[in-house]
Amino acid sequence: MGMSVTISEATDTDAEQILKLQYLCYQSEAELYGDYSIEPLTQTLDSIKAELAEGSVLVARLGEEVVASVRGTVDAAGTARIGKLIVHPRMQRHGLGGRLLDAIERRLGESGTAQRFELFTGHRSESNLQLYRKHGYAPVSTQRVDDRLTVVTLSKDAEAGAYVTSA
């Protein structure tokens, strides 16, 4: 009998596993763009611990192993920013990224302050773009960073009342 993947809020004790998973997952992005100095590959453990304290960080676990993670915050203007959606390579293409994306949207939308969701990815990251489009995101802007990279920002409106729990 196989184990099932569970999604929950990350804790401080998950920080090291998240950092290692992030390093593994962003290798393919670094290769795609020819840049191994990207922020996810240079982020420190202390920086991840700070993100755990400041925003919402969810993890997906297979047993005790963190196999996926996503982070998000909501700013004063009501924009929920979602970032660093990562799934272990052996767990990709099974819907886990979509489950995590849905879960972070629910989490960030619970307060009722999120008016829209926003995330970004590189222009060559076709599997990311496909996932985000499938979940209702549409491109809203592009920013050319250098000859190798253009960042695509995508967003979607938060559905009014979709994340409100009944009393």
pLDDT, tens only, 37-95: 999 999 999 999 999 999 899 999 999 999 999 999 999 999 999 999 999 999 999 99
Residue 60 to residue 95: CA distance in whole angstroms = 12
Q: 139 and 125 in contact (C-beta within 8 Å)?
A: no
pTM, rounded to two decimals:
0.90
Edge to edge, the sheet with strand 65-74 lists: 5-9, 56-62, 65-74, 79-87, 116-122, 150-157, 138-144
Q: What would the CATH number be for the domain defined by 5-116?
A: 3.40.630.30
Contacts of 3 (CB under 8 A, 6+ apart): 62, 63
pLDDT for position 111? 76
